[in-house]
Structure 1
C-alpha cells in the first residue's frame, strides 16, 4: 500500500489527472488464502488513505481493486449487493476525496482460480463523470465480455478503465481484447495490468492505453512502471 501511494503521488505530481492501480494491488491476485485476511470495508483505512491523497494533491484515483468485506461495508453505510461475503472492488475517488464510482467485478474467473469460490460477483457497471470525461470500469476477465463494454458505451462513456491481474502465457489475448474493445466501441480503453510473480504464476504487465481507433497511445513491458497518456 505504501508503494502504491508513492507511485500514485508521483504520477499526480507529474501531471496525471486520474491515476489507476491494477487489480488486487494490495494483496496480489493469486494470494487466494490471504483474501479474507486482507479484506476490509471500502470506507476503511486502506482506501481512505488514497482518498486523502487525492484530496491533498488534487487528482482522481481509481484504487485498483481490493478485496471488499461486504458486511463491513454495509456496517459503514455503503450500499452493497449482498449482506455478506467478499467482492473484488474498485473505487474511484475524485479531487475532493469523495467516492464517485464503486465497481464490483461482475465476471469472476474460474479455470483453476479460486476467485469464483471466494468472491461474490457484482451486479452493475456504473459510470462517473470526471473533469468532463465520462468513465466506466471493468476488471480483468471482464475484457472477454464485449456486451458489458457495449452497455458502458450506451451509458455514454468516453473511456473504459480496466484494472487487471492478467497472467502469462495469455499475452496475445491481453493485447487483442483491449484493442478490440476500443475499436468496436470507438472509445478510449486503458488496460492497467499488474506485474510480478506469485510462485509459478506471473503477471504479464503490458499496461496499455488505446484510442478509439485502436492505436496504442502508451504502453509498457512486464516490469513495474507508470504509463501515462
Structure 2
C-alpha cells in the first residue's frame, strides 16, 4: 500500500482555505499513485484556534466531510480526513453513534475508495498542558481498526502517542499500521521523534506520524512528519515546511518482523 502523509500548512480559523488546500493535496497525492492519503490533526480549523472550534464544528454527515468522501470516490483513493471538529449532537441527529449527547470531539474519519466511511476515531487523550482542548472537547471511547488495501490500520491522534497501552489494544486487534494525525508544536521536537519511533519498535508495526505545519498566536507546529517501519527505522520524513511524505506499507513485512523477533509473544 502506497501511503501519502500530507504535512499541510494550516492557517488558524481559516476553515474554507484549509479545506480547499487539503482537497487539492488529496487529488495531487492520488494522481501520484497513493493508495491512502492521511491529513493532520484539525487541519480544518487549526489546533490552536480554540475560539473557532464551535463555529467550525459539523456532523460527520455534514457537507465538509462529504467533500472528502466525494474526492475519495472521484480520485479512487482512501482518505483519512483527520482530524476535524465534530458536533456530537449533530452527528447523533444524523444517526451516528457518539460518546456523548452534546459537545465537540476531535475526530478522524477514514473513507475508502468508494467514499464510504470505514472508521471513525475520536481522540481519547485530550491535551491540557497549555491547551484548551480538555475544556472544549469530549474524549472518545473506542479504538477501532479496519482493513484497507489488505493492511489492518488503526488511528490515534497526537497526544495519544504518550499512552502505549492504547497501541497495545490495537495490536491485539490485529493492527499492522497506525496512522497518527497530529498538531505537535515546538519545542517538544525530541518527544515527537522518540515517541513515534518507540510505538513502532514496541509494537513491531508501521507508524505514520503525520504533523501539520504553521503558526498561530505564538504557537508553531514542528512538522517533521515521519513514517517508521516495524523495526522503528525511518522510511521517509519531512522538515517543518508543508510537504507530502510517501512510503510503501507491506503487511508481509510486519509478519516477517514479528516472526523473526517475537517480542509480542513474550508479553506477560
Give the alignment's TM-score, normalised by structure 1: 0.99
Q: How does 1:67-78 map to 2 (within 5 A)?
A: 67-78=85-96
- The Cα shift of 1:92 comes to 0.1
Show the counterpart of 2:30.
12
Over aligned residues, Cα RMSD in angstroms? 0.5
In 2, the alpha carbon distance for the partners of 1:47 and 1:8 equals 13
Matched residue of 2:109: which SS? strand
Matched, 1:191 2:205: no
Show the counterpart of 1:79.
97
Matched residue of 2:48: which SS? coil
Aligned with 2:235 (options 217, 221, 225) = 217
Q: How many residues are matched?
A: 229
Aligned with 1:104 (options 119, 122, 131) = 122
- The Cα shift of 1:199 comes to 1.5
String of CA shifts for 1:10-35, please: whole Å, max 9, x gaps. Answer: 00110110000000001000000000
In 2, the alpha carbon distance for the partners of 1:13 and 1:208 equals 21
String of CA shifts for 1:138-192, please: whole Å, max 9, x gaps. Answer: 0000000000001110100110000000000000000000000000000000000
In 1, the alpha carbon distance for the partners of 2:245 and 2:130 equals 30
Matched residue of 1:162: which SS? strand
Kindly report structure 1 stretches of 4+ aligned residues shifted beyond 2 Å: none
Q: How does 1:131-142 map to 2 (within 5 A)?
A: 131-142=149-160
In 2, the alpha carbon distance for the partners of 1:143 and 1:182 equals 11
In 2, the alpha carbon distance for the partners of 1:126 and 1:184 equals 20
Show the counterpart of 2:67.
49
Matched residue of 2:244: which SS? coil
Tell me: higher relative CO, structure 1 or 2? Use CA pairs within 8 A at least 6 residues apart: 2
- The Cα shift of 1:2 comes to 0.5
Aligned with 1:173 (options 165, 170, 191) = 191
Aligned with 1:27 (options 23, 31, 45) = 45
In 2, the alpha carbon distance for the partners of 1:74 and 1:36 equals 16
Matched, 1:144 2:162: yes
In 1, the alpha carbon distance for the partners of 2:184 and 2:130 equals 14
Show the counterpart of 2:174.
156
Show the counterpart of 1:63.
81
- The Cα shift of 1:131 comes to 1.2
Rg (Cα) greater in structure: 2
In 2, the alpha carbon distance for the partners of 1:72 and 1:31 equals 21
- The Cα shift of 1:111 comes to 1.2
In 2, the alpha carbon distance for the partners of 1:7 and 1:58 equals 14
Show the counterpart of 1:92.
110
> What are the ranges of 5 or more consecutive residues in structure 1 without an aligned counterpart?
none
